[in-house]
Copies of this chain bind each other. A is one copy, B any other.
Amino acid sequence: MATIKDVARAAGVAPSTVSYVLSGSRKISADTRTAVQAAVEELGYHPNAGARSLRSTRTDVLALALPLSGHGYLPVGGRFMYGLSEAAGRHGYLVLLVTPPGEDDRGAGLERAARGRFADAAVLMGVEMEDPRVAAMRSLDFPVALMGHPDDESAAPWCDLDWEESVVSSVRALREAGHRRMLYLATVEEDVGSGRTYSVRGIRGAERAAAESGVAVDVCHSSDDPVELYRRLDARFDSDAPPTALAVQHPPAIPGILRHLAARGIEVPRDVSLVAIGNFPEDLGGLDVTRIELPVEQMSAAATRLAVEAIARVGDPGPFDDGDGGRAPHTLIPPRLIRGATVAPAP
């Protein structure tokens, strides 16, 4: 593999000159520049990542810390991984996946990545309200960006869809259609239990929506186990006052829910209205679901930007220099309700 010396020899200059041409950090004459560029091209030279990072302490790599648990998050996760990899690429970064190695050592892989300087910053997925990874990275002075919105807004730069507002506006839409008894199907219990911020905020949204609109919003947790999920749904629909509308924050369950309800003779939107919260633009056989889509690209781009900016800030006085009342830089994405065909007037 060609080294900078090989390039220097081929171009008839010193290695340092090659470096300056490549980094552009010193003025170089047009002649030598073209000579060096030709040699680089000719030899297919790419700087050795290890050597470069050893000397410059920059790796051009972002660590992407996968959620601490919850395989239910998996189909979503893939989109974010892809989106982040693309966004990072646009900033000149590669993405290193860091899987939590086991339940017992939460964040150890991440710590290795940070302490071992595998990356310049970390993007944390599936952030929890009291996320141990945030504290760990802070104590290492390692730049992070969170995908998720913890209560402590000074903890670290973060970005998120406004889940609370998502649920509120979903409930509002259903209320405007005349619905007075609705079921909010929250994320799976595992996510709620571990304090995933999207779960917690979704539930808060349901509570706020109920309070402010005066309608009954029954909060029920979803489940990755379909049998259990349908049992819970059946319990509601078998009751004396069954819901006339459904707000679902667990998108992968929607096709199954639709089929299950249909098997009971319940048609959407004829018998029950539906809003899907945080799903993907996926087709359901021509059924145009009223929904709030998860802005994966936007969030990936935002997280990447926050991470890159945090890298530029290392060594700065703490915690954040802006005058935003101690809040960290952030991007809160307002929900956009897309009116489809699954909300009908209440009977």
Contact = CB atoms under 8 A, between A and B. Distances in A.
B59 A85 contact: no
15 contacts: A46-B111, A46-B112, A47-B116, A48-B54, A48-B117, A49-B50, A50-B52, A50-B54, A50-B59, A77-B82, A78-B79, A85-B98, A94-B113, A96-B97, A257-B285
Contact of A286 (B79, B85, B263): B263
A282 B253 CA distance: 9
B82 A78 contact: yes
A284 interface: yes
A109 interface: yes
Contact of A285 (B98, B117, B258): B258
A200 interface: no
Interface of A: 1, 44-54, 59, 61, 64, 66, 74-79, 81-82, 85-86, 89, 94-99, 101, 109, 111-113, 115-118, 226, 230, 252-253, 255-263, 282-287
Contacts of A95: 96-97
A263 B282 contact: no
Nearest to A280: B75
Contacts of A96: 61, 94-97
A54 B257 CA distance: 54
A94 B118 contact: yes
B49 A116 contact: yes
A259 B286 contact: yes
Contacts of A81: 77-78, 81, 97
Given A115-B44, A116-B47, A94 B94 contact: no
B82 A286 contact: no
Interface centre among A59, A78, A262, A263 (most CB of B within 10 A): A78
Contacts of A47: 116
Nearest to A86: B99
A290 to B, nearest CB: 16
A253 B283 CA distance: 8
Contacts of A101: 89
B256 A46 contact: no
Nearest to A56: B50
A252 B282 contact: yes
B282 A259 contact: no
A143 B266 CA distance: 55
A320 B97 CA distance: 31
Contacts of A99: 82, 85-86, 89
A308 to B, nearest CB: 16
Contacts of A261: 285
Contacts of A76: 78
Contact of A117 (B50, B79, B263): B50
